[in-house]
């Protein structure tokens, strides 16, 4: 299986990179992967990753909720319980940031189509792209949403969208700089790009370290700090308009992280405490939130 080994930071190209920690793939392979850090831009990245043609097998799991929409298990059940509220919050953020109630939206990495369906119900014209065929089938069956294959991204018309959303997607993309350039080309001058990614500088990230579920190796290729995201945006001539905390993520990630740290026996009480402490620190300084949505413009 071809592996990609970085000699330079995959974001800023600096040679000042070094190992930071090791994390295990708890979802599929149980293999260990090294995570390195760039001393210049602070991006962390998974080293020696499978290439784009080989990584598909690491997504083949019934427990991978983004593709299966499963509600099996307590953690996935809790995820479904709060999804209705998070979908409403995403709509409000998109409408507020774009200053329009209805428009044209592109959702990249649309998963099983819940967000696309929600935005269609709100009157938005939508296109959803999803690389996984099984997820596209679930989107059709559960939400009557027809998603397109991901390779359609580079054939869409320029300046065609008021909003482009990537909900926990950019960290999965091998062609990082190619995607950033295409996002810039596709969004309208008055439009906004919404990029949600985990934040390893959060309290729960620091607490769990190699067991932090949001590292999700090797599916997560990059691990962003706010500073690393700012550097990436500036490199592509994009402007950060603001960021929005994702408050539920600290609890969801902490529950999974406790399970990983306890070899399958998670401490729910401790996970709740760590999730609460993470949000408490982020309430004072939102750049410390477990996950952040970056609102971006040309």
pTM assigned to the model: 0.93
Neighbours of 31 (CB within 10 A): 11
Averaged pLDDT score across all residues of the chain: 93
Closest by CA position to 90, among listed 188, 198, 164, 176: 164
CATH top-level class of 3-297: alpha beta
Question: If 0-12 CB within 10 Å is exposed, 13-18 middle and 19+ buried, where does residue 199 land?
Answer: buried
Residue 64 pLDDT > 80 = no
- Find out whether 162 and 104 touch, Cβ atoms under 8 Å: yes
CB 17 within 8 A of CB 9: yes
32 vs 212: CA distance, rounded Å: 13
| Segment 43-53, tens digit of pLDDT | 999 999 999 99
Give, in order, the Cα–Cα distances in Å from 164 to each of 105, 153, 295: 6, 11, 10
Give strand ranges (E) for the chain.
3-4, 17-24, 32-38, 44-46, 49-50, 104-108, 125-129, 161-167, 187-198, 222-223, 239-245, 291-297
Using one digit for the tens of pLDDT, what is the confidence trace for 168-201?
A: 999 999 999 999 999 999 999 999 999 999 999 9
Say what the pLDDT of residue 84 is. 82
Share of the chain above pLDDT 90, in %: 87
pLDDT for the residue numbered 22: 98
What's the rounded Cα separation, in Å, for the pair 203 and 257?
13
Q: Give residue limits of the domains in the chain.
A: 3-297
* φ/ψ of residue 126, rounded to 5: -130, 150
């Amino acid at each position: 299986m071809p592996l990609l080994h970085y000699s330079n930071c995959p974001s800023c190209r600096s040679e000042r990179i070094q190992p930071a920690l090791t994390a295990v793939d708890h979802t599929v392979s149980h293999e260990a992967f090294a995570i390195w850090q760039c001393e210049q831009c602070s991006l962390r990245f998974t080293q020696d990753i499978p290439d784009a043609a080989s990584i598909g097998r690491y997504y083949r799991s019934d427990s991978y909720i983004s593709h299966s929409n499963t509600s099996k298990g307590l953690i996935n059940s809790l995820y479904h319980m709060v999804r209705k509220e998070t979908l409403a919050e995403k709509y409000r953020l998109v409408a507020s940031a774009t200053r329009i109630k209805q428009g044209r939206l592109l959702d990249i990495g649309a998963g099983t189509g819940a967000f696309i369906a929600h935005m269609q119900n709100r009157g938005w014209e939508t296109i959803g792209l999803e690389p996984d065929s099984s997820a596209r089938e679930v989107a059709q069956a559960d939400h009557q949403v027809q998603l397109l294959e991901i390779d359609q991204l580079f054939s869409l018309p320029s300046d065609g969208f008021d909003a482009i959303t990537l909900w926990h997607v950019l960290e999965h993309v091998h062609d990082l700089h190619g995607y950033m350039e295409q996002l810039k080309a596709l969004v309208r001058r008055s439009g906004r790009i919404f990029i949600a990614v985990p934040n390893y500088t959060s309290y729960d990230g620091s607490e769990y370290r190699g067991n932090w579920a949001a590292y999700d190796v090797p599916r997560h290729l990059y691990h962003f700090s706010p500073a690393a995201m700012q550097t990436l945006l500036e490199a592509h001539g994009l402007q950060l308009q603001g960021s929005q905390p994702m408050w539920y993520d600290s609890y969801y990630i902490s529950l999974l992280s406790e399970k990983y740290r306890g070899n399958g026996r998670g401490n729910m009480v401790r996970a709740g405490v760590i999730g609460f402490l993470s949000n408490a620190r982020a309430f004072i300084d939102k750049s410390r939130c477990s996950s952040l949505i970056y609102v971006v413009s040309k």
